[in-house]
Amino acid sequence: MATNGEQQPAQHRFDPKFTETVINATGPKTSPRMREVMTCMIKHLHDFAREIELTVDEWSEGVALMNWAGQMSTDRRNEGQLVCDVVGLESLVDEITYKKAAEAADYATQSAILGPFFRHDHPTREKGATITFNTPDDGQVTYMHGVVTDAVSKKPLANATVDVWQASTNGLYEQQDENQVDHNLRGKFVTDENGEYAFYTIRPTPYPIPFDGPAGKLLKLLDRHPYRPAHIHLIVMIDGYKPITTQIFDKDSKYLDDDSVFAVKDSLVVEFVPRKDDSKAEYELKYDMAMAPNDSKEPAGPALAGSGAISS
Amino acid sequence: MATNGEQQPAQHRFDPKFTETVINATGPKTSPRMREVMTCMIKHLHDFAREIELTVDEWSEGVALMNWAGQMSTDRRNEGQLVCDVVGLESLVDEITYKKAAEAADYATQSAILGPFFRHDHPTREKGATITFNTPDDGQVTYMHGVVTDAVSKKPLANATVDVWQASTNGLYEQQDENQVDHNLRGKFVTDENGEYAFYTIRPTPYPIPFDGPAGKLLKLLDRHPYRPAHIHLIVMIDGYKPITTQIFDKDSKYLDDDSVFAVKDSLVVEFVPRKDDSKAEYELKYDMAMAPNDSKEPAGPALAGSGAISS
């Protein structure tokens, strides 16, 4: 099936005026963007239904699945989002948003892209502190560090905040797991006068996205696994620069090629190397980030290949 | 915007391999139909997001709306379905299903298309009985009758069941309204030896679909009204024939041209005429139905232009 570039004209035997009728029902007071988005959505939704000749029963199953997603969603879980994730939609809108942000200097990244496991109240910790307070037996302690720079001048940036969060080796974030202390594997670090940040954490491991709801059902129906490759979430911010929200992936992890939510991009894959001369850590990870000034069209890097808003 | 027939090739500046990657994640054990439906769905979903350059914030609003729909849905209310209805999807899959059913003799219409206001336990009533037990002050009593025939032989069909339900003039079906008795404005009639059915009811009136949830919010954002034209729901069944599920619309009703759920088709519009010599009714409605034998490719009529599965 052609996914782009050579779509066939939609030939079908159904009411040729129907889609136009629905689109034209939109009233004059709709916002221009709402009109544009919904016109395109209705067109594709109808073309999809006609191309595949979707039946009432099949549509009803889809409605039941989406209603179920809403019913499972809470303050701590967004199953509607997860259903989108397994069909690649969050990763795609993330790519789109990132490209638009890189082109428009006045665009501010919204907190909506952070997903359900981010918390706004990460404690600020000292450079070199640890964020692993309940290190599991299979946890491999890692020293992560790097430099935050200006993408244009290449100079180090002091006082940038590096916000980090990750799951433990059992696949659970601290708010999902009563055996982890509050804010385990989370912290906010401020870069020093050399633009440097540093902390101890554990090397992340692959884990399955929640499999007990409609997203899991969809994965089963699609004969797919629910695993995500090992990753660490990061947000880097400093006044005057475009914020970066990203995930970095362990190059030795399983599932890099078949992330269940399609968030991996080559530039986000990093290497954990054995740590020398440090009794506190087995591994080391160096990760630098270049920040694009708000008024420049320079993209941020190296996280630029994806802003990595996937939530899980 | 072209709604069919002359789609432009999808030109975009995003990862050209992404959609293929998501589609190819589908495993070998997926059913052929699931693969076909989801491949088409993913393609259109991604094309939609790229064409409109959907942002993370906009997508998040959509996710929140769909989660809200699930949270509002209960045994008595299907808000996910209603959201689909206002963008024409139920009416479209109904048209598709009807066309497929008319072509495939072995297709059985499923109860799933009946919507939340149908009940499976309608009492069987005598020919000529009434279904209006709480006639409101503004209710105009109507004598509805007609003949059920074989669409091929044109002969009348005895023992067909005609199942009917409708809202009262306040826009509420009996299960939504504590001031209506159980099974008010509902009944099941069996055709006599001449294929005839007959009953008293009230002339239906327009009413708004529920406006307090995401479907209502979507209508507001689209600057649209929530009204449906006056209609009566019907299901006609007899062994050996394809069942007909339909709605018929009052030709004098408002909103025939702008039904909020796009269910009106010309062939489903009927005329209420003044009733003569009957102290029990102001109006009369004659409506005949022709049933297609299960083994024929003959479409059922006159309800054939739409099987009318819209639920509200």
Residue B70 lies in a domain: no
Residue pLDDT, tens place only, A21-65: 999 999 999 999 999 999 999 999 999 999 999 998 899 999 999
Q: Are residues B91 and B178 in the same domain?
A: yes
Q: Would you tell me which residues 201-260 of chain A have a C-beta closer than 8 angstroms to some C-beta of chain B?
A: 221-224, 258
Q: List residues bridging with B188 in a β-sheet.
A: B124, B163
Q: Would you tell me which residues 93-112 of chain A have a C-beta closer than 8 angstroms to some C-beta of chain B?
A: 93-97, 99-100, 110, 112
Q: Which two tokens stand for residue A238?
A: 């400093």
B28 prior amide bond cis, ω within 30: no
Calculate how close chain A gets to B227, using CA atoms only, in Å. Answer: 12
Q: Are residues A255 and A153 in the same domain?
A: yes
Nearest CA in chain B to A35: B222
Calculate how close chain B gets to A200, using CA atoms only, in Å. Answer: 31
User: d(Cα B73, Cα B91) in Å, to the nearest integer?
Assistant: 20
Residue B276 lies in a domain: yes
Calculate how close chain A gets to B246, using CA atoms only, in Å. Answer: 14
Q: Which residues of A touch B63 (CB under 8 A)?
A: 78, 80-81, 84
The secondary structure of chain B as a DSSP string is: ---SS-PPP---SS-TTHHHHHHHTS-TTS-HHHHHHHHHHHHHHHHHHHHHT--HHHHHHHHHHHHHHHHH-BTTB-HHHHHHHHTTHHHHHHHHHHHHHHH-TT----GGGG-TT--TTPPB--TT-B--SS--TT--EEEEEEEEEETTT--B-TT-EEEEE---TTS--GGG-TTS-TTTTEEEEE--TTSEEEEEEE----EEPP-SSHHHHHHHHTT---EE--EEEEEEE-TTB--EEEEEEETT-TTSSS-TT----GGGEE--EEPPS-TT-SEEEE--EEEPBTT--PPPBSGGG-------
Average pLDDT over every residue of B167-182 = 93
Q: Which two tokens stand for residue B284?
A: 């009369």
* H or E, element range at A289: strand A289-291
Q: Is the pLDDT of residue B148 over 90?
A: yes
Look up tokens 């009411």; give the residue.
Answer: A15
Calculate how close chain A gets to B138, using CA atoms only, in Å. Answer: 30
CA neighbor of B233 nearest in space, from B217, B242, B244: B244
Q: Which residues of A touch B56 (CB under 8 A)?
A: 90, 93-94, 97, 110, 112-113, 309
Residue B64 lies in a domain: no
Residue pLDDT, tens place only, A93-114: 988 988 887 665 433 333 234 5
Contacts of B153 (CB under 8 A, 6+ apart): none
Cβ pair A53:B28 closer than 8 A: no
Amino acid in position A198: A
Q: Are residues B104 and B240 in the same domain?
A: yes
Q: Are residues B137 and B280 in the same domain?
A: yes
Average pLDDT over every residue of B230-258 = 92
**Where does the pLDDT of residue A5 fall: very low under 50, low under 70, confident under 90, or very high at 90 and above?**
very low
Average pLDDT over every residue of A150-157 = 91
The whole-number pLDDT of residue B156 equals 97
User: d(Cα B39, Cα B9) in Å, to the nearest integer?
Assistant: 18
Q: Which two tokens stand for residue A146?
A: 């790097």
Q: Which residues of A touch B47 (CB under 8 A)?
A: 4, 7, 44
Q: Is the pLDDT of residue B273 over 60?
A: yes
**Where does the pLDDT of residue B92 fall: very low under 50, low under 70, confident under 90, or very high at 90 and above?**
very high
User: d(Cα B94, Cα B100) in Å, to the nearest integer?
Assistant: 10
Q: What percent of chain B has pLDDT over 90?
A: 66
Look at residues A35, A54, A73 and tell me which one is the last residue of a structural domain.
A54
Residue B61 lies in a domain: no
Cβ pair B222:A38 closer than 8 A: yes
User: d(Cα B215, Cα A290) in Å, to the nearest integer?
Assistant: 44
What is the extent of the structural domain holding B40? Answer: 14-54
Supply the Cα-derived Rg of chain B in whole angstroms.
Answer: 22
CA neighbor of A115 nearest in space, from A93, A142, A139: A93
Q: Are residues A230 and A156 in the same domain?
A: yes
Cβ pair A222:B27 closer than 8 A: yes
Q: Are residues A42 and A154 in the same domain?
A: no
User: d(Cα B82, Cα B214) in Å, to the nearest integer?
Assistant: 9
When CB atoms are compared, the residue of B11, B28, B222 closest to A223 is B28
Cβ pair B63:A53 closer than 8 A: no
CATH number of the domain encompassing residue B96: 2.60.130.10
Average pLDDT of chain B is 86
Calculate how close chain B gets to A274, using CA atoms only, in Å. Answer: 33
Weakest-pLDDT range from A222-231, A286-295, B29-38, B113-122: B113-122
Cβ pair B40:A93 closer than 8 A: no
**Where does the pLDDT of residue B114 fall: very low under 50, low under 70, confident under 90, or very high at 90 and above?**
low
Q: What is the DSSP letter of A1?
A: -
When CB atoms are compared, the residue of A38, A44, A223 closest to B26 is A223
Nearest CA in chain B to A99: B14
Mutate to test the interface with A, among B57, B109, B222, B265 (most CBs of A within 10 A): B222
Q: Are residues A161 and A298 in the same domain?
A: yes
**Where does the pLDDT of residue A311 fall: very low under 50, low under 70, confident under 90, or very high at 90 and above?**
very low
Nearest CA in chain A to B306: A15
Q: Is the pLDDT of residue B243 over 90?
A: no
3-state secondary structure B196-219: EEEEEEECCCCEECCCCCHHHHHH
Q: Would you tell me which residues 29-88 of chain A have a C-beta closer than 8 angstroms to some C-beta of chain B?
A: 29-31, 34-60, 63-64, 66-73, 78-81, 84, 87-88
Q: Are residues A178 and A282 in the same domain?
A: yes
Scored b (16 or more CB within 10 A) or e, B139-165 reads bbbbbbbbbbbbbeeeebbeebbbbbb
Q: Which residues of B touch A37 (CB under 8 A)?
A: 52, 54, 58
Q: Are residues A215 and A258 in the same domain?
A: yes
**Where does the pLDDT of residue B228 fall: very low under 50, low under 70, confident under 90, or very high at 90 and above?**
very high
Angstrom CA distances, B223 to A41, B63, B217, B260, stand at 16, 21, 10, 11
Q: Are residues A134 and A229 in the same domain?
A: yes
Q: What is the DSSP letter of A151?
A: T
Q: Would you tell me which residues 181-200 of chain B have a C-beta closer than 8 angstroms to some C-beta of chain A?
A: none
The whole-number pLDDT of residue A116 equals 62
**Where does the pLDDT of residue B116 fall: very low under 50, low under 70, confident under 90, or very high at 90 and above?**
low
Q: Which residues of B touch A87 (CB under 8 A)?
A: 22, 38, 41-42, 45
Helix (H, G, I), strand (E, B) or coil at A180: coil
Q: Which two tokens stand for residue B247?
A: 């709605």
User: d(Cα B229, Cα B218) in Å, to the nearest integer?
Assistant: 19
Region at A267 (left for phi over 0; alpha for psi -120 to 50; beta for the rest): alpha
Average pLDDT over every residue of A150-179 = 93
Angle among Cα B158, B162, B166 to the nearest 5 degrees reads 160
Task: Give the helix, strand, coil percentages of chain A, each rounded to 5.
Answer: 30, 20, 50
Number of domains in chain A: 2
Q: Are residues B128 and B38 in the same domain?
A: no
Average pLDDT over every residue of A71-91 = 89
When CB atoms are compared, the residue of B13, B30, B60 closest to A223 is B30
Cβ pair A113:B57 closer than 8 A: yes
Residue A4 lies in a domain: no
Residue A140 lies in a domain: yes
Weakest-pLDDT range from A69-78, B114-123, B303-312: B303-312
Mutate to test the interface with A, among B51, B63, B218, B219 (most CBs of A within 10 A): B63
Query: What sign has the CA pseudo-torsion B85, B89, B93, B98?
Result: positive
Q: How many interchain CB pairs under 8 A, A with B?
A: 289
Cβ pair A54:B93 closer than 8 A: yes
CA neighbor of B53 nearest in space, from A76, A8, A92: A92
Residue B310 lies in a domain: no
Q: Are residues B33 and B162 in the same domain?
A: no
The whole-number pLDDT of residue B184 equals 97
Supply the Cα-derived Rg of chain A in whole angstroms.
Answer: 22
Residue A310 lies in a domain: no
Calculate how close chain A gets to B275, using CA atoms only, in Å. Answer: 35
Q: Which two tokens stand for residue A188?
A: 């906010």
User: d(Cα B280, Cα B233) in Å, to the nearest integer?
Assistant: 22
- Is the distance from CB of B198 to CB of B127 less than 8 angstroms? yes
Amino acid in position A193: E
Q: Is the ipTM of this complex over 0.95?
A: no
Calculate how close chain B gets to A130, using CA atoms only, in Å. Answer: 32
Chain centre distance of CA A147:
22
Q: Which residues of A touch B27 (CB under 8 A)?
A: 222-224
Q: Which residues of A touch B71 (CB under 8 A)?
A: 70-71, 73
The whole-number pLDDT of residue A105 equals 46
Q: What percent of chain A has pLDDT over 90?
A: 66
Helix (H, G, I), strand (E, B) or coil at A239: coil
Look at residues A54, A71, A103 and tell me which one is the last residue of a structural domain.
A54
- Please give the span between the terminal C-alpha atoms of chain B, in angstroms, as a whole number: 30
